[in-house]
Structure 1
Amino acid sequence: REEGLSFANVITFNLDEYYPMPKDSVHSYHRFMWENLFDHVDVDAENVHIPRGDLPRERVDEECRRYEDEIRRVGGIDFQILGIGKTGHIGFNEPGSGADSRTRMVTLDAVTRRDAAADFFGEDYVPKEALTMGVATILEAREIAILATGEHKAFIVRRAVEGDVDVEVAATFLQSHPNTTFYVDRAAAAELTRIKTPWLLDEVQWTPDLTVRAVVWLSETTGRAILHLTQRDYSEHKMSSLVARYGTPGAVNGEVFNNLGAKIRGKSKLPRGLRTICFSPHPDDDVISMGGILRKFVENGNDVTVAYMTSGNIAVFDHDVRRYVDYTVRLAQNGYGDPKAAEALAKKVHDFFDRKKPGDVDIPEVLDIKRIIREAEAISGIETVGLPEEKGRFLNLPFYQTGKVKKDPIGPEDVEIVRALLEEIKPELIFVAGDLSDPHGTHRMCKEAVDLALQEYAQAGNPRPEVWLYRGAWQEWPVTEATWLVPMSQEELRLKIQAIFKHQSQKDSAPFPGSDDREFWQRVESRNKDTAGILDRLGLAHYFAMEAYVVE
């Protein structure tokens, strides 16, 4: 609309649709396309084609044939836009889809359904089937653009671009198309050879960062500790030019070994006496991602405030709310509160749950109860690492308060709330979530709010605090990217896990666990031990566990 681009002569064909799926469902691609594109441009409704997910099963085959016929009738597809799923599916062409497949009904892969769980408020509500254009239908397009963003797409992008053509990865069939372009951000491109190991393809400029990455890769590839790498190792892996630059393998090895060793920051090397804010997107990201360093900062006498940016209330199961309102009624019946008020609240909540359908927005009372559950858990969590209740601040940023998985964009009100906290605390150091692969994008949006608030804060003449980015819930910083590596003893890791346990509503099975089936404490234990294990294999000191941070 901004450029006056007209859709008057455009004919569109959507790739797929869930089945069964009414057109007016909030989960329908039909509704999504009209609300997010077609209602905003001058497209002719007669030129819009979307597979019918609302037909009786006996008419599905006929619909698929009709769809193919309509594509042929208008002369085929000129420009096809695709995404790519974690299994490498394009459209809903799941593993096993052949190069000759056409528009048809398919059964959705378990990974695909798990990835869609957040949009449907639980995997149980994700349809098991879908209608999709076939691989052959897609490949007949004259031009194809495939888009991928985020760290979680990096491995499948590499597989699709560099791997062998394989019926188990439908996106690999695009390699045979004469006019296909992958559009990826740096995170999604991270595993491509030209990005991850460019020295294998051509001569490179050996910057300090690239040198560290390359030597760590060589150590991991050969299975030798860094200080044991030889001239032959470098020569066989196209890294002779690096040795030539330093003179000897030992010089390169020593440089990288010392670089990594300097990143290790035990308690004695961590800051003392600083005003510090930990910005936690959800009420458990603080202890999940940085429970170890939180304890060390407290012990070092830093003035630490944990700012919970959102309530996280949509990630509380309804059955937890039922249990808590039942508890409230029983408490009131035993003389601790007003029985009539408690029973009235319980009835309203139970009546709502009895008629609630998947995807329905909770009533205000339920949203408040879920928020309070998570706030109480958050306070219990920070108390475990040594912080008092008053050091937990609940910002409840407005962008999150939709009651749905999809949030509003970050707005001035969100930024003002964060800026006001900065003005109040005047921190010298802040922690911000750099774990941007969470399934709903809340971490990314919270970082946007902090970044904008920091700009305003600095423009007002305040000194900009040092910013440490943490990860942990969904991924961890590679040791080559980390600025600081913070060791944890067995006892410190155990305390961190105990703090995570305080978030009972997220234990056992969180409502939105992402593609990782493990509980959060299990992910944390594995990642923190793995980080320490990497340093051990590289030949550095052996630690029980380790957190990683990047200074922005």
Structure 2
Amino acid sequence: MTRKSKLTTISRVEELMLQKTKKQLVYSPIEKIGTIVVDNFPELGKLTALRFLEWAQNNEGSTISLPTGKTPEHFIKWVDYLLHNWNDKKAQKILEEHGVDPKRKPDMRSFYFIQIDEFYPINSTQHNSFFYYVNKFYIRGFGLDAQKALLINPNEIGIRPHETLDEIWPNHIVDLSLRFSYPKDALQKRQQEVLRAVDQFCTDYESRIRELGGIGFFLGGIGPDGHIGFNVRGSNHYSTTRLTQTNYETQAAAASDLGGIEISRNRLVITIGLQTITFNPNTTAIIIAAGEAKAKVVKDAIQSEKSNQVPASALHDLPNARFYITRGAAKLLTERRYLELKEAKEISRQNIYHIVTDLALQKKKRLKDLSKRDFQSIRSSKLLLERFGEKALHFPAEIEASYTKYINNALQIPKHQVILHTAPHHDDIMLGYLPYVVRLMREPTNTHYFNYLTSGFNAVTNSYMLHQLEITQSFFNRPEFQTLFEENYFDPTNPEYRNRDVFQYLDGLAANDEDAMNEGNARRLLRNLVEIFEEDSIENLKNRINELANYFRTQYPGKKDLPYIQQLKGMVREWEADILWGYFGFTCESVIHSRLGFYKGEIFTEEPTIDRDVAPILQNLRRIKPTVVSVAFDPEGSGPDTHYKVLQAVSTALKLYSEETGKKDITIWGYRNVWYRFHPSEANLYIPVTHNTRAILDHAFMNAFGSQKAASFPSYEYDGPFSGLAQKIQVEQYQYMKSLLGRDFFYENKDSRIRSTRGFVFLKVMSLDEFHQHARDLKRTTENI
């Protein structure tokens, strides 16, 4: 049987989903692996859960290998729900409607579970270890038999009784050269013994998997470099279970789990290999991916030829291998995108702009220089010729005029506006569109408010908090601090004194006086401690600082913090935002910190609710009465996605506000920053960025966001602080526009603001109705927004 004919064999669950979506499993010859596309992240989890249960009914006693992290959130929730409510009418109906036999509940204790991977070294009792995760969500959660689980427990691999991993690897750094080199001392000798034990464990682990016949059902996500398990880009397709290093992209993605990239850089991983996954030719292997951020690696995995640079291409020869993905993740699949356009009754204006823009960029031509021959050379642009005839050849001129208009419009600064800038995190506005804010602030008739909607505590490391506490301790015995206590300066309710914190810091920054800047930091941290602990005694505060310092020294990075620690870390982020806008002359009264309650630091974040999360935004709308509202406008919620959830909360608040006031003329500015980018066809306001505004961005970021200077939680695209990545993106967008409009448009423009442009920020300006059309309804189980 050929691979093509094998790929046409599909399960009942898959068959029904393909009927529902009216799509094929494979679009040959471009696609090399069966793919099912669903609308959104919750639907992805539901489909995967139903396919898993369908498989489980027919393969009791086989082996299963399931993923960790945030991606399987809805898969886990749906499997849990269906297993624990199997005989309920609602669950029975869901099973039957989706092709799962409701009369045969699978015996979950019959399965052998295989853990995919684990960091090394890591204490397996830590809540951010994968060992802890699989025990919580799969062994106990799904009711599996723990005796049949093949797990990776670093605490037991080569470790003697009463010995710990910290004793073997005191700096949590494993020197792989000890596999071959001669140990220099007793510690290195013991490390070598443990390292050899780990290597032997990996060999034995692989053997045990093969003795069980390989993996029966494999479910995995896909990393930013395309990794499956921890088989990073470049992994051998014949790789087996091993202890190995990772690459930067993987380290950046793991930083949030491990408490910072400074930790993940030094972690090795134990992972099953690509051959481990494909050893059983009948393996049902499913890779799930959600969101446009995954579109590029998904495209490579599905459409590329087999290559070590594309780890998932190892799955191409498995007849039961699949990709289950959302529409956003499927965005770049060539054949599907083309057929969508071809089958559409009408091709939208945005799609026309997208096709022609990509044609010009691919041909490396100005829009005005595109020819009929160029249009005929690519299927999507040829389709425009077929649909619109010679009229299609006028599209480049129309698009050029529009793009020029979008640039010129950005130079016309609006006046007499009340602008509410909203953000999920405290650096989002800055990274998204600071060059525009700088211009807007120069117009005195505009009023600005900056509303941060989560506390952002996850972005603050324990080491940074410890450093700030040590700075604060050094100021306690200074006479000026004694005077401040006597003046009740640290009263958290006094806005005048809060502003003086900012002035102190910024005066120090202007004078290049680090001690004065540290005093500003210390003042605000003490104020925050007074607020949290309701303390006004110097001695009690000293004890609190000692207690907190001990906490930050002893807690492992990445551990979920206690609520008051989360609050303290979040207040550090809020302080940084106060500094940022103080930098531009705004006082703390213009900066609003809402701390929406869905943001709790859990593995799987909650959905926003009306009373808890929408109400605070609605109250601000009533008070401020904005004419313009900005929002982080990410293209698709990938489930555990703070940006997307904040977008939905803002959208709902605006809807309620417009209904109660009748106000429909609010303008929405959608922005994206370092995580997502607009295609030129998706935006309609192009803000020029000069060297001057780039310098402002970098200086302000590095001096306001102290907790982010070390880039502990960076993007996988850039090894450094986010301000550097934002500038990189702005320059890339300028290069697009220079290619599309021609260099002379910039170099010989009459307007010096255009001649000095070396970057662009893209915004999408929308009416309120347009914004609501774009904002998707959240999937709720207990309360609907």
Aligned to 2:654: 454
Deviation at 1:307, TM superposition (A): 0.5
The 3-state SS of whatever aligns with 1:399 is coil
Contact 1:92–1:130 (Cα < 8 Å) also in 2 = yes
Letter matched to residue 643 of structure 2:
H
Distance verdict in 2 for CA 1:174–1:363, change over 3 Å: closer
Deviation at 1:374, TM superposition (A): 2.9
Distance verdict in 2 for CA 1:78–1:444, change over 3 Å: same
Deviation at 1:187, TM superposition (A): 2.7
Distance verdict in 2 for CA 1:323–1:311, change over 3 Å: farther
Aligned to 2:727: 525
Aligned to 1:86: 224
The yes-or-no answer on 1:473 pairing with 2:674 is yes
Structure 2 distance, partners of 1:111, 1:468, is 31
The yes-or-no answer on 1:539 pairing with 2:741 is yes
Aligned to 2:763: 549
Q: Deviations over 1:238-285 (max 9, x none)?
A: 434424524166522212222323333545645432332111212222
The 3-state SS of whatever aligns with 1:125 is helix
Contact 1:435–1:472 (Cα < 8 Å) also in 2 = no
The yes-or-no answer on 1:395 pairing with 2:609 is no
Alignment of 1:223-238 (within 5 A): 223-238=364-379
Structure 1 distance, partners of 2:291, 2:701, is 26
Deviation at 1:116, TM superposition (A): 0.3
Distance verdict in 2 for CA 1:90–1:72, change over 3 Å: same
Deviation at 1:539, TM superposition (A): 1.4
Aligned to 1:500: 701
Deviation at 1:147, TM superposition (A): 0.8
Distance verdict in 2 for CA 1:61–1:387, change over 3 Å: closer
The 3-state SS of whatever aligns with 1:430 is strand
Deviation at 1:66, TM superposition (A): 4.8
Deviation at 1:472, TM superposition (A): 1.9
Higher helix share: 2
Aligned to 1:287: 430
Name structure 2 gaps, 5 residues minimum: 1-79, 87-104, 159-193, 486-537, 747-753, 772-785
Structure 1 distance, partners of 2:565, 2:652, is 32
Relative to structure 2, which stretch is displaced further, 431-440 or 481-490? 431-440
The structure 2 residue matched to 1:165, chosen from 298, 301, 306, is 306
The yes-or-no answer on 1:420 pairing with 2:613 is no
Distance verdict in 2 for CA 1:81–1:215, change over 3 Å: same
The yes-or-no answer on 1:329 pairing with 2:329 is no
TM-score, reference length from structure 1:
0.88
Aligned to 1:156: 297
Contact 2:425–2:452 (Cα < 8 Å) also in 1 = yes
Deviation at 1:381, TM superposition (A): 1.6
Relative to structure 2, which stretch is displaced further, 51-60 or 144-153? 51-60
The structure 2 residue matched to 1:20, chosen from 121, 136, 145, is 121
Relative to structure 2, which stretch is displaced further, 294-303 or 510-519? 294-303
Relative to structure 2, which stretch is displaced further, 27-36 or 15-24? 15-24
Distance verdict in 2 for CA 1:356–1:52, change over 3 Å: closer
The structure 1 residue matched to 2:384, chosen from 210, 230, 242, is 242
Aligned to 2:446: 302
Contact 1:79–1:143 (Cα < 8 Å) also in 2 = yes
Letter matched to residue 476 of structure 2:
V
Identity %: 23
Structure 2 distance, partners of 1:290, 1:31, is 40
Relative to structure 2, which stretch is displaced further, 95-104 or 436-445? 436-445
Contact 1:313–1:371 (Cα < 8 Å) also in 2 = yes
The structure 2 residue matched to 1:353, chosen from 545, 552, 570, is 552
Distance verdict in 2 for CA 1:93–1:524, change over 3 Å: closer
Relative to structure 2, which stretch is displaced further, 47-56 or 513-522? 47-56
Aligned to 1:260: 403
The yes-or-no answer on 1:511 pairing with 2:511 is no
Contact 2:287–2:322 (Cα < 8 Å) also in 1 = yes
The yes-or-no answer on 1:486 pairing with 2:687 is yes
The 3-state SS of whatever aligns with 1:468 is strand
Aligned to 1:183: 324
Distance verdict in 2 for CA 1:378–1:163, change over 3 Å: same
Relative to structure 2, which stretch is displaced further, 204-213 or 511-520? 204-213
Q: What do you get for the CA RMSD once the two structures are aligned?
A: 3.3
Relative to structure 2, which stretch is displaced further, 78-87 or 456-465? 456-465
The yes-or-no answer on 1:445 pairing with 2:645 is yes
Structure 1 distance, partners of 2:637, 2:585, is 27
Aligned to 2:356: 215
Contact 1:212–1:480 (Cα < 8 Å) also in 2 = yes
Structure 2 distance, partners of 1:379, 1:218, is 44
Q: Deviations over 1:105-140 (max 9, x none)?
A: 333334322310111102243363333222222112
Name structure 1 gaps, 5 residues minimum: none
Distance verdict in 2 for CA 1:146–1:361, change over 3 Å: closer
Distance verdict in 2 for CA 1:506–1:536, change over 3 Å: farther
Structure 1 distance, partners of 2:240, 2:550, is 46
Contact 1:53–1:130 (Cα < 8 Å) also in 2 = no
Distance verdict in 2 for CA 1:461–1:180, change over 3 Å: farther
Relative to structure 2, which stretch is displaced further, 431-440 or 298-307? 431-440
Letter matched to residue 474 of structure 1:
W
Contact 2:286–2:324 (Cα < 8 Å) also in 1 = yes
Relative to structure 2, which stretch is displaced further, 509-518 or 292-301? 292-301
The 3-state SS of whatever aligns with 1:261 is helix
Distance verdict in 2 for CA 1:288–1:327, change over 3 Å: farther
Aligned to 2:25: none
Aligned to 2:136: 35
Letter matched to residue 416 of structure 2:
G
Contact 2:455–2:567 (Cα < 8 Å) also in 1 = no
Structure 2 distance, partners of 1:488, 1:110, is 29
Aligned to 2:267: 128
Q: Deviations over 1:389-440 (max 9, x none)?
A: 31111112223354x7875543441222222222322333211112579997
Deviation at 1:73, TM superposition (A): 5.1
Which of the pair has more CA radius of gyration?
A: 2
Deviation at 1:458, TM superposition (A): 4.7
Contact 2:239–2:275 (Cα < 8 Å) also in 1 = yes
Contact 1:416–1:453 (Cα < 8 Å) also in 2 = yes
Structure 2 distance, partners of 1:526, 1:398, is 33
Alignment of 1:368-407 (within 5 A): 370-402=569-601, 407=605
The number of aligned residues is 550
Structure 1 distance, partners of 2:567, 2:144, is 42
Distance verdict in 2 for CA 1:274–1:405, change over 3 Å: farther
Contact 1:17–1:131 (Cα < 8 Å) also in 2 = yes
Q: Deviations over 1:131-160 (max 9, x none)?
A: 322222211243221111233322221221
Letter matched to residue 413 of structure 1:
R
Contact 2:360–2:740 (Cα < 8 Å) also in 1 = yes
